[in-house]
Amino acid sequence: MTPTETRTRHGASRRRKQGGRAVYAAIVTFYCLLFVALIWPVYPRFATIEPRVLSVPFGMAYVVVALLLSFFVLLGLFLWEESHGLNDQDPEETE
């Protein structure tokens, strides 16, 4: 492998690593925000009866949507990791 090829490969690996970190940072931020959205002072603004969503009070629908969002976002992360082969290795080996 020529020095140029080695540099290019290292550069790609670094960019991938940085891209991965950005994804994890975004996911952790999302879950922190989701948690805050479920407690005071955010949730009280949405803990109302109207508008009803699929016949249930808005305050209940809001929490159910948070539950579904939690599922879909983590599912997205999992599928992304699977496509990048990140779940095949032991975390001890990836360090």
The residue ranges that bind another protein (CB under 8 A) are: 28, 31, 34-35, 38-41, 43-44, 47-49, 52, 55-57, 59-60, 63-64, 66-71, 74-75, 77-78, 81-82, 87-92, 95
Q: Among candidates 34, 50, 52, which has minimal Cα distance to 42?
A: 34
Looking at the Cβ atoms of 12 and 60, the one nearer to another protein is 60
How many Cα neighbours within 13 Å face the side chain of 50?
A: 0
User: Cβ 63 to another protein, closest distance in Å?
Assistant: 5
User: Cβ 22 to another protein, closest distance in Å?
Assistant: 14
Looking at the Cβ atoms of 6 and 82, the one nearer to another protein is 82
Give the Cα separation of 52 and 49 in Å (integer).
Answer: 6
State the angle between helix axes of 3-37 and 58-83 in degrees (0 to 180), rounded to the nearest 10: 170
